[in-house]
Structure 1
Amino acid sequence: MKKLRFACLASVLALAATPVFAQDASDTTDSGDIVVTANRTSSLLSKTPIAMTAVGGDDLIQSGITNPTQLEESVPNLSIVRGNGLQITIRGVTSTDGTEKGDPSAAFMLNGIYLARPQSQEVSFFDIERVEVLRGPQGTLYGRNSTAGVINVISVQPKFETGARVDATYGSFDAINATAAINLAASDSIAFRVAANIDQRDSYLIDGNAADGIGIGKFKDNKTVRLSALFKPSSDFSLLLVGDYSWQKGSPSNGVPVSNFYSNIVSGGRQTYERPTYLDPSAKAGRVLSNPQGQYTFRDNTDRGLMGELNYTMGNVTLTYLGSYRESDRKEFSNLGATPVTADFYGSYWQTSHELRLAYGGDGPLQVQVGGYYFKEKSGIAFFINNLLAPNSRFGFPQKPTIAENKSLFGQATYEIATGLKLTGGVRYSSDLKSRVGATVLDIYSSVVDSSNIGTFIVRNTFQTNNAKRTFSKVTWRAGIDYDSPLGLVFASVSTGYKAGGFNDGCETGKGPNCALSASDLYYDPETLTAYEAGFKFKISPEFRLNGTVFHYDYSGLQLSAVSNACGGPCQVTSNAAKAKVDGVELDAVIQPIDNFSVRLALNYLDARYDTFAPTYADATSSTGFRSVNFAGRALNRSPKWSWVAGANYTIPVGDGKVVLDVQTAARGQYEVTDLANYVYFLQPGFSKTDASITYNAPNDRFYVAGFVENLENNLVVTGAGVGAFGSVTFSDPRTFGVRAGVKF
């Protein structure tokens, strides 16, 4: 009954979507609306009954958004931080397991292809047509690991014209981001496009211990090339092929001692929630790595892939095939946390996916899609920590293979029951298989100095066998209603999401040698989410657009990961929290009171909290030897209750060109980052981030030159924190400034 009352209230209130920014011409209508593919078919953003944001490629360039972590400034209730790859949080829903056996809660896609490894996602961010961010579970049309939502990066497709463009940025910390693209029309039906990107910058860390003689290298030095080919002999048939290759290098350390940011740390299981004292360090003091390093850190990774999309229209029916194959290789040397303990990681991955869809449309009241999806990923990794448990030893995890496989069938239909009034229903069946073979070991050598200086192998001690296999299945569904009113679209929906369960290190008792875990300790269950949502997308007048959404989530089986000593040494353990609840409101407006001047405003409320979650910990003073910590009512990580954005854009005509002044402040309230292994509740106080730019655009937008400053306040924002043997704090970008320019041919 409570859910029904909430759904009815949501329908009445009908509150939030997100701002729409300047778009590429190929994606916009005469009214400035943008064409999106959130429903896997083309539709206008203003007529798409989903809470989503679409940011066009030109706006990404003009706003200086060169990597996914900067999207959170344009998308409500979104957080993207760097950890072991990208960790995406949407409306409080996230995943902290970036290992080969873990899955994200938000699906990251490139041209509709799911990228399973978060380490491969950032290098896709160049030569972009648009980025679509769908908030909330997308368990019908997208399915796999879209409990939190979907980020779909759509690259620029070849066009039937010859041209080129170059865009480059130079900024603080010797940051260079440059993209060159050439488009060639070979004929009326065949076109090619090649784009290349360089993305590099120095580390934000300051070497506070030069005596170790190691130093801090360039944070990233990535190079990527993408080749696209489009064959379109008629309006009814098209074949798009895209291949890409990237080299990812650099020294990606970003951790500093916890003492840079916090004092009075109380750890361990307890019923109270003492927070460490936040020290509010200066931007310089917070970035100092004062601890000695054990080795020079670096990564030397490659990522490559090929995808194809075929569309064939037969009257009112369109057949679409979307297929891909990707490979990744990783070689990374690191120091754990902000300590001199050295480690190395070697990994190889491949994934393939195939999707077949049949869409029925036309001018009638019925729109239908049905399809099937297949995904498989296979990997082998070796992660070792040097001299952790004994001198001249390597404690580690050789695992091969780890396999994930998904098979799905789905369908969705929309029917217009009256003029402007539509009903939508969809369902998806997903079947997942996960397995892994490997071990947790301690290898002894004649000598171990660091990852580059290892002597002769002597003996291997196997602590435990890592051997697990399990299947999961789930039916997810969506039901919605929308009405195209004179003011704009009003919509409401109920949708569900699902992410498969998995396993921890080890194997089940009785299933083989060195197997000592119960099934309940080895495996964890799927997480599921039911979302109730309603919203509107209104065009009050040509000068005033207003969007809004209100939502409620019932979130069960949250998969929470923490590092523990359950394996004889440090390893990651994932468990299911019982339940969580999420409520929120998202509002935004774009106002243009006079020509050449516009204001954008957004206000978001988010109450993401644990409903029932009471993990146990050992306590000798208890009669049972254990106590529990009650998390009920506590906020989920990186979930500020309030956030807002205020920006203004003013255009000054200069001859046939123009000067554009733009300023935006994005603010977020306080939030927690919890170290679940040690029950330490790190608080990030509320903060603001102001970006400003001045741009000259030449006549016909042939070239532009801009100066910019980002994070004018120079706030260091905590993105991750933990204590223990390898405790450290990671933080977001400090203040940066620079210039950017571009030219079209």
Structure 2
Amino acid sequence: MPAHFRQREGQTTVPIFKFKKSFLYTSMAILAAGGVNAQTSEAGSENTRAIEVIQVSATKRVTTIRETPLAVTAFDQNALDDNHVLQLDDLQGIVPSLHIAQNGTQNTPMVYVRGIGSSDQTESGDPAVAFHVDGIYSARSQGASALMFDLEGAEILRGPQGTLFGRNATGGVVNLHTAKPKLDYFEANAEITIGNYDRRATRAMVNLPLSETFAIRVAAAMDKSEGYVDMAPGSAMGDKYGATDLSATRISAFWQPADNFDWFLSYENFNDQGTGQIPTITGGSSRSAYIQEPGFNDFVIDSFRTRMNYNFDSGITLSYIGGYTDSSRESVWDRSWSPDKYEWGGCVECTHEATQHELQIKNEDSARLQWMVGYFYFKENNSTHFDIVHPDVDYEGGNTPNPNLWSTYRQPDRGLKSNSIYAQSTYKVTDEFRLSAGLRYTEDERWDRGGRNIMCPDVKRTENLPLNSDYVGLLDPDGLLNGLAPNKFLVQPGQCWVDTYNDTSPSWDKTTGMARLEWDFTPDVMLYASYATGFKSGTIQDGNRYTGEGPFTQADLDAIIAANNNETAGTNAYVAPEENTSIELGLKGSFLDNTLQLFAALFTTEYTDLQVTSNVLTETGADLLRKTNAGKATINGLELEAKWLVGQNGELSGSMSYLDAKYDEFFTTDSSYGADGIAFNPSAGNPALPNLLDFSGNHLVQAPEFSLSLNYAHFFELSNGATLKPKVRMSYSSEIWFDPANRGDRPEGFRGLPYAADIDRQDAYAKWDASLTYEPSEGNWSLEAFVNNITDEEIKSDQGRWNSNPVPNYMWQAPRTLGMRLKVRFD
């Protein structure tokens, strides 16, 4: 099976680059010259230390990270512990071009790689960075919030991975590999963490070899803390927003009855009982908010994963990778964060079920022509019911006034089925040159059956929808609406009505591919050039309304469904797929007797129909997530990663990312605050399209132009043989935009706002972390003290909305946190 471990290393049409030629040539010349200069100086080095390398499965074959011709950052469990990585969010600042924001209502991270991601975490959307655990794809990025514990490794692949990993990997891939049971020895460990904000966390693992062919492994983790957002005076009583209450347990088994067959099976349960995240309004404190509805979250994920490998005498390996995930969520969150109005929403019942089957056949790694073929099947079913209250919203134009409008969203059967086949091969032209090529064909089907957006005058109606009356019978002779009015104009007092009918069944197919050339410039330096394409499936949106005067019949419903499926007429209830092409030049080298490691990637990526998500305030007062397709976007960039063993006791590491990420062609409505009919940034409008704004040339969201991370650790040997290791890390980011509008600064008083500076961006910032670890000479334990965000910087993570009122509000990164961590090993 693919695995991570540490060991000592023995002493289609290609798009035109939009880089300036001088930048391209100069960058590659510096990289090549660096390889030559560093290589020639190795002979003079007498350092006995060597960088421990990590093996990865980014190519679905086990290779060392230096020999992997991809932009990939990888960690084993020791490295994750050393960098305090307990959740996916913790990888931000240590992986080039990776940025993670929090979604408050869905309580899940939004992952962006090289400026590509998605802020739509609902059942209708997909992430643009694919998330895999033990080869099992997670379509709902809520799975990314699971605790990262007892892992063999974590890999972050940057750039489109459309051949081996398929759909929804246009930005990249996050691969997690859980630790597998070991047959040959017993081991166990435990860890306890305490900290401010009443932080209490534990992790434990035990590996039990029960025979020469069978072993089991049990691991568990728990993490609890108070929230960061204080309750302003007058708030409702309850736990603070941002409070965490996470727990997970994993039981895995490994059976190897013969040398040519093995079987891995695991079950994992994850629970999130925290309060969820909440934005705070600008102009006040990032650490407090007026709360009228305390947060509640009950999120459970059950996952089964398995893999079987059979090795034939010919050297061919047949593998089956299967998985099943079942999740359910109930939640409540405050939507106003202010005493001026009372508004809240909640997931009454949201369930998700996913099944994956994959068959993979490949020949042995040592073959001159390596090949791999596979079949992938994925299906998910979602059932969603969530409600939002809109007090003091009168649905103008309706038959009756509704001063306390409630919207309820019912999607009883929304799902996806995906089938794909793929093939990839690598040919060793010589000992120094290798050529690789691959193709993947994907067919996707999506559906929404019976989905309805329903408006009600009060919450009681949402819980008791049927209204049996003669009037209803006359309007609904075919019994299609279960007592609902077919639209707002046919409402009787106290009756709910259907705002939109969301039935649709779009399908897409796409062939993606890659081509790559690798050259071993020296035995320790590899250069590569690659071309790759990616494909992100289209997504479903809310459908059309019934505009007739009744009665509502099956023919009327069929006409609405036809309109929902009509892309030509522009009435479709879905968004087109997103596609990209990427060219990448890379260098991976070990220098100075393997005490210096340098990786570099220079790339350009062109997107068509880039899916962009924003909030839309509808005429009913509902605040919905909607997607549009940005016509075109281009991302140019350079990434560097380095590690240097300084002398006999120091270690310096770091990464740098430069991104030039902009929309080339993007006309859209300014949906964030468009309900009053006034463009928030009228200067961006195109006179030829008076109802649209031109965001062409604007920066992509979550894509800072420059980011940098530097880490230094030093090992001090004490007189008693113990080791003391201080470590410090600095993370820097240039300004980050949160909205495609790129509003930026506005003068004080703009549109009546007393505070409008940096309205949709985070200014450049630097964050410092430090730790000190003590480990006895022959002990089985270690003690660490740590502090993160030492200077307690207030750093925005993402921008939220407050309905039609253009008061910006933000999600925030964690404030200063500190604590102690005790680890114990039992061998």
Query: Is the pair's TM-score, using the shorter chain for normalization, greater than 0.5?
Result: yes
Residues 1:184 and 2:208 aligned together = yes
Structure 1 unaligned runs (5+)? 17-28, 261-284
Paired position in structure 2 for 1:21: none
Verify the 8 A CA contact 1:586 1:604 in the aligned structure 2: yes
Rounded to whole Å, the distance in 2 between the matches of 1:365 and 1:139 is 24
Paired position in structure 1 for 2:40: none
The 3-state SS of whatever aligns with 2:80 is: helix
Verify the 8 A CA contact 2:237 2:294 in the aligned structure 1: no
Residues 1:472 and 2:495 aligned together = no
Cα deviation, residue 12, structure 1: 4.5
Report the identity percentage.
Answer: 26
Distance 1:443 1:629, change over 3 A: closer
The 3-state SS of whatever aligns with 1:58 is: helix
Larger radius of gyration: 2
Residues 1:103 and 2:126 aligned together = yes
Paired position in structure 2 for 1:431: 443
Cα deviation, residue 402, structure 1: 0.5
Q: Give 1:47's match in structure 2, choosing from 49, 60, 67.
A: 67
**1:654-733 maps to which residues of 2 (within 5 A)?**
654=718, 655-674=720-739, 682-699=760-777, 702-725=780-803, 728-733=809-814
Paired position in structure 1 for 2:376: 373
Cα deviation, residue 603, structure 1: 2.3
Residues 1:528 and 2:579 aligned together = yes
Verify the 8 A CA contact 1:110 1:124 in the aligned structure 2: no
Counterpart residue type for residue 482 of structure 1: E
Paired position in structure 2 for 1:580: 633
* Range with greater deviation from structure 2 (561-570 or 42-51): 561-570
Distance 1:2 1:118, change over 3 A: closer
Rounded to whole Å, the distance in 1 between the matches of 2:632 and 2:351 is 35
Residues 1:744 and 2:825 aligned together = yes
Rounded to whole Å, the distance in 1 between the matches of 2:94 and 2:516 is 26
**1:137-156 maps to which residues of 2 (within 5 A)?**
137-156=160-179
* Range with greater deviation from structure 2 (586-595 or 477-486): 586-595
* Range with greater deviation from structure 2 (2-11 or 190-199): 2-11
Verify the 8 A CA contact 1:619 1:625 in the aligned structure 2: no
Paired position in structure 1 for 2:497: 461
Paired position in structure 2 for 1:342: 344
Distance 1:387 1:612, change over 3 A: closer
Verify the 8 A CA contact 1:709 1:735 in the aligned structure 2: yes
**1:269-308 maps to which residues of 2 (within 5 A)?**
285-289=285-289, 291=290, 293-308=291-306
Name the structure where strand makes up a greater proportion of residues: 1
Paired position in structure 2 for 1:134: 157
Verify the 8 A CA contact 1:608 1:639 in the aligned structure 2: yes
Counterpart residue type for residue 215 of structure 2: A
Distance 1:678 1:359, change over 3 A: same
Rounded to whole Å, the distance in 2 between the matches of 1:677 and 1:358 is 48
Rounded to whole Å, the distance in 2 between the matches of 1:214 and 1:538 is 54
Rounded to whole Å, the distance in 1 between the matches of 2:619 and 2:412 is 18
Per-residue deviation, residues 572-594 of structure 1 (Å, max 9, x unmatched) = 21110001000011112222231
Per-residue deviation, residues 574-621 of structure 1 (Å, max 9, x unmatched) = 110001000011112222231011211322211111111122466799
**1:338-737 maps to which residues of 2 (within 5 A)?**
338-339=337-338, 340-345=342-347, 346-388=349-391, 389=393, 390-391=402-403, 393-437=405-449, 438-445=451-458, 459-486=495-522, 487-507=524-544, 512=558, 519=567, 520-521=570-571, 522-542=573-593, 543-566=595-618, 568=620, 569-616=622-669, 626-654=690-718, 655-674=720-739, 682-699=760-777, 702-725=780-803, 728-737=809-818
Counterpart residue type for residue 301 of structure 1: F
Verify the 8 A CA contact 1:580 1:611 in the aligned structure 2: yes
Counterpart residue type for residue 774 of structure 2: Y
Rounded to whole Å, the distance in 1 between the matches of 2:365 and 2:541 is 49
Verify the 8 A CA contact 1:610 1:633 in the aligned structure 2: yes
Distance 1:352 1:665, change over 3 A: same
Distance 1:210 1:565, change over 3 A: closer
Distance 1:146 1:407, change over 3 A: same
Verify the 8 A CA contact 1:440 1:462 in the aligned structure 2: yes
Cα deviation, residue 338, structure 1: 2.5
The 3-state SS of whatever aligns with 1:34 is: strand
Rounded to whole Å, the distance in 2 between the matches of 1:722 and 1:33 is 41
Paired position in structure 2 for 1:86: 109
Verify the 8 A CA contact 1:440 1:567 in the aligned structure 2: no
Structure 2 unaligned runs (5+)? 1-12, 33-48, 394-401, 468-493, 547-555, 671-676, 745-757
Rounded to whole Å, the distance in 1 between the matches of 2:176 and 2:607 is 27
Across the two proteins, how many residue pairs are aligned to each other? 704
**1:198-237 maps to which residues of 2 (within 5 A)?**
198-214=222-238, 216=240, 219-237=243-261
Rounded to whole Å, the distance in 1 between the matches of 2:652 and 2:146 is 32
Per-residue deviation, residues 110-155 of structure 1 (Å, max 9, x unmatched) = 1111111122222241111111000000000000211100001111
Rounded to whole Å, the distance in 2 between the matches of 1:685 and 1:155 is 37
Q: Give 2:143's match in structure 1, choosing from 120, 127, 140.
A: 120
Rounded to whole Å, the distance in 1 between the matches of 2:617 and 2:242 is 33
Distance 1:373 1:211, change over 3 A: closer
Compute the RMSD of aligned alpha carbons: 2.8
Verify the 8 A CA contact 1:386 1:394 in the aligned structure 2: yes
